[in-house]
Amino acid sequence: MTDNLADLARHYDTTNLSAEIEASEPAVSPPNVSSGTEPMDAFTVRLPISLLGALRDRAATEHITTGQMIRRTLETALSATVDDDKTIPVHKLRALIADAS
């Protein structure tokens, strides 16, 4: 892997990419209207190696990232304690239905 990184570094250190950069366009991300995403923040937490390993294995099985698996697990745990009469936005319901299907 170190050789690949050295090759890449050498390539980009010695190649003129100005024409490609000039011709490029900024990536346009679609709006997240339907997904109902909200801004994220990072938080560091120490987990036992066996627990983190189990989360990673489960995430790999479900083809999602470890972060997504941890978020989903926490959301599921917290949803068990949420008041059933609390209202939630329709876009969140749609996102949940889309994720389930």
Condensed to tens digits (0 to 9), the pLDDT of residues 6-47 reads: 888 898 899 998 888 888 887 765 544 444 567 888 889 999
> Which residues form the domain of 48?
41-101
Is the pTM higher than 0.85?
no
Q: Is the pLDDT of residue 77 over 90?
A: no
Decide if 77 is inside a domain: yes
**Cβ 59 vs Cβ 66: under 8 Å:** yes
Place of tokens 């189990």: 54
Number of structural domains the chain divides into: 1
Q: What is the mean pLDDT of residues 61-75?
A: 90
Shortest CA distance to 68 belongs to which of 33, 40, 47? 40
- What burial class does residue 72 get, using C-beta atoms within 10 Å of its C-beta: 0-12 exposed, 13-18 middle, 19+ buried? middle
Decide if 26 is inside a domain: no
Decide if 46 is inside a domain: yes
- What pLDDT score was predicted for residue 70? 92
